[in-house]
Chain A
Amino acid sequence: MADRRLIALGCLLAAAAALFLFWGLRGPTAYILELRLVKLAALLAVGASAGVATVLFQTISQNRILTPSIMGFDALFLLLQTGLVAGLGAAGASRISGLPGFALETAVMLGAALVLFTSLLGRTRHDIQLMVLAGVVLGVMFRTLTVFLQRLMEPSEFTMVEARMFAQFSGIDRSALMAGLGLMALAGLWLVRNHQVLDVAALGRTPARSLGVAYDGLQLRVLCLIAALVSVATALVGPLAFLGLLVTSLAHSLMQSHRHALLLPAAALIGALILVSGQTVFERLLHLQSTLAVVIEFCGGLLFLVLLVKGKIR
């Protein structure tokens, strides 16, 4: 029994996607359509994975304000990418670009995220302020290290990583897109089978454990999932700090439910809808190629401040 709100979101998204594909289609139609299709797939993938990753992160950290990006997940991913280029050199890095590069980056990301965030979540879960602080410090540290590594680089290596430091929706790497979609399909499969245990986990560690949920193992698996989804989004377009927060706030106020069966699809649809419709407006209507990320960051950042000030920390 699909929820009416989810169906409405799906219809809106389909309409937005159709608009994005066919609006102002001139010239070599097939070629342009193919370009647009690739871009559309990337927008859908990024929006959905950012939304789902954020809902999952908020479930295991038991709060409504933190997102993987605020906690430094995507800064970590950028640091890994930069470290890879610095370590292997531009030639080496370009040899493993595309699918194997993406796989390697994601694998390293999984390991690093697990080590860092399990220890962090274990110690600071009860204290949101401490967690925000730890996340900010980690994010700054990762970014500083990234910049430091870039200073040491050859110019050719630098140009390779520079483009990845800011979110942009052009020049999608197709093999990374395919790998990302594959990874998302796996994540989706896991979620379809396990969404109910997430509802229990969201009650908190102690209540969930007393209901028989092996919480720590579950948390580990969900962190892996988050790291993978963040890798997908960041590899495709770059860091988007506040998209996830924007999406989950909208999803929560639309669904008014604790059930992941509703929250996760809503977040995925809303994330994709924001990106597709935003990109359509900015690219086709306003002819501003690169402003969407800025606007999203601005709105999301504003929302973050509002939530923080209103004390809606949970």
Chain B
Amino acid sequence: MIQVSNLSFGPAANPILQGIDAEIPAGRVTALIGPNGAGKSTLLKLIARQLTASSGRIRMDGMDLAQTVPAQLACKMAVVAQHLSVASRVRVRDLIGFGRWPHSAGRLGVADHAAIANAVELFDLGDLQTRFLDELSGGQRQRAFIAMAYVQDTDWLLLDEPLNNLDLHHARNLMAQLRHLTELQGRGIVIVVHDLNYAISWSDHVVALRDGKVAFQGPVAAAATAERLSALYQTPVAITRLGGQPFAQYHR
């Protein structure tokens, strides 16, 4: 479980996040939703230790994140950021290979190569694996980065808008992979999404942020009601059912 208690970030006069209390269950898919600028990426970066909170603390499976060292954390969680870039010019397969670094420290063994080949297969990167990263399309790059986080093989996987650039085939495939990871391997997954239908139909738990505060949180079925979602986005959202699944209608 990720336990965020009384977390604040940013200047006291004008905080980006203030007094965040949230619980993210282990072994579940949790959707982090909210309007642009609500602080979703900031919260994710705080959990990933890419930013340091001004107050409050975060515990992950009982350990205080402020007390961990990077090497320990890299075996515990993998992160895919919203804005993806690396500074060096690498090929797709080498990038994915970096995901094994926390385990192999550069000496890729048979198991590592198998994990990499498996990720290449899962994320449909077979034809692209020898290409340079800066010669890929946005969605292809995104898939390469997700594959890198995937091979890191951690208890927790944090993804910031992973569906951003993906076509509907790959978006659906990714969500199915993530569900697979939670259900078969008990991984905890936190995913920032804007598409409400992906959020409510694939995730178990939801944490909604607005203006740097938690608007609501809880199991999807109970927490993500039409009124709350409408208030969250200041836009009329209706929840209907379609083929037995809840369906959010907001586009028109």
Contact = CB atoms under 8 A, between A and B. Distances in A.
B74 interface: yes
Contact of A204 (B48, B87, B105, B107): B87
A314 interface: yes
B85 A204 contact: yes
A199 B106 contact: yes
B109 to A, nearest CB: 14
Interface in A59-73: 59, 62-63
Report the contact-size class of chain B (Cβ under 8 Å from the partner). 20 to 34
B106 A202 contact: no
A197 B106 contact: yes
A14 B152 CA distance: 43
A210 B78 contact: yes
B86 A204 contact: yes
A214 B50 contact: no
A237 interface: no
Contacts of A215: 70
Interface in B115-163: 152
B186 interface: no
A209 interface: yes
6 contacts: A62-B88, A202-B87, A203-B86, A203-B90, A212-B74, A258-B94
B78 A200 contact: no
Contact of B71 (A196, A203, A204, A214): A214
Contacts of A63: 87
B78 to A, nearest CB: 7
A92 interface: no
Nearest to B49: A209
Nearest to A194: B106
Contacts of A206: 50, 81
Nearest to A260: B88
Contacts, number: 65
Interface in B71-101: 71-75, 78-79, 81, 85-90, 94, 98-99, 101
A124 to B, nearest CB: 14
B69 interface: yes
Contacts of B71: 212-214
Given A204-B87, A214-B71, 13 more contacts: A200-B106, A203-B86, A203-B98, A210-B48, A210-B50, A210-B70, A210-B78, A212-B71, A212-B74, A213-B71, A213-B101, A258-B90, A314-B87
B70 A209 contact: yes
A200 B98 contact: yes
A211 B70 CA distance: 7
A207 interface: yes
B94 A209 contact: no
A214 B90 contact: no
B25 interface: no
A284 B120 CA distance: 56
B102 interface: yes
B150 to A, nearest CB: 13
A314 B85 CA distance: 12
A214 B70 contact: yes
Given A204-B87, A210-B48, A210-B79, A196 B73 contact: no
* Shortest Cβ-Cβ A-B pairs, 9 listed: A212-B74, A196-B106, A62-B87, A202-B88, A212-B71, A203-B86, A204-B87, A258-B88, A212-B102
A258 B89 CA distance: 6
A214 B81 CA distance: 19
Interface string B38-78: 00000000001110000000000000000001111111001
A212 B88 contact: no
Given A196-B105, A206-B81, A214 B69 contact: yes
Interface in A178-217: 196-197, 199-200, 202-204, 206-207, 209-215
Given A62-B87, A203-B88, A209 B50 contact: yes
Interface in A251-281: 258
Contacts of A199: 88, 98, 106
Given A203-B88, A204-B86, A258-B90, A211 B99 contact: yes
Nearest to A62: B87
Contacts of B85: 204
A244 B75 CA distance: 37
A169 B86 CA distance: 40
Given A196-B105, A212-B75, A258-B94, A207 B86 contact: yes
Nearest to B97: A199
A96 to B, nearest CB: 41
A196 B104 CA distance: 11
B158 to A, nearest CB: 9
A258 B79 CA distance: 22
A60 to B, nearest CB: 10
A212 B75 CA distance: 8
Indicate the member of A204, A209, A210, A314 with the most B CB atoms within 10 Å: A210
